[in-house]
Amino acid sequence: MKKIKIQTLTLEQAKKLKPGTILYHIINRNSDGSAQRWKVNGKVKLWARDASRVQVSIKHGLKHYDYLTEDILHLVSLTNHTEYHNEVCMLVSQAKALQASKIKEGYSTHIVHHLGIGQPKRIVCYYKLIN
């Protein structure tokens, strides 16, 4: 079984983003199964006194605007990874029942800590290479 390593956005890459750059969400999907695309919508905000902070204005679709900060860089990637593998993501409590069958089918696992509104959630993602 091959391991899949998704290269998520680093702090240094985030500091160099330009308006118009497309970012791909590693968890959220469109209705056709492709990764959600987020477009960098403005100038990257940096802090002179704290080099570990960054804030990037991003846009999805016509009306969805948000900010990408250093806390959630692990949720986006510069490359569209859905071209290379199938992915099934679910909450940890739901995944326990399916774990044995997914491993027998050749899926690799990856746990993602999703920081959303309210309590953070741990999500299990199963990946399988597309031949």
Q: For 40-80, write each residue's pLDDT tens digit.
A: 999 999 999 999 999 999 998 888 888 999 988 888 888 88
pLDDT tens digits for 6-41?
688 899 999 999 999 999 887 777 767 678 889 999
The answer to whether residue 115 scores a pLDDT higher than 60 is no
- Model pLDDT, residue 85: 52
- Long-range own/partner contacts, residues 96-102 (CB < 8 A, 24 or more apart): 98/126, 99/124, 102/126
pTM for the whole structure: 0.63
**How far is residue 10 from each of residues 32, 33, 34, 94, measured CA to CA in Å?**
28, 25, 22, 30
Start-end ranges of CATH 2.30.30 in the chain? Answer: 6-83
35: CB partners within 8 A, 6+ apart: 24, 25, 26, 28, 29, 77, 80, 81, 82
Which of residues 74 and 101 earns the better pLDDT score? 74
CATH class of the region 6-83: mainly beta
Rounded average pLDDT over 104-118: 58
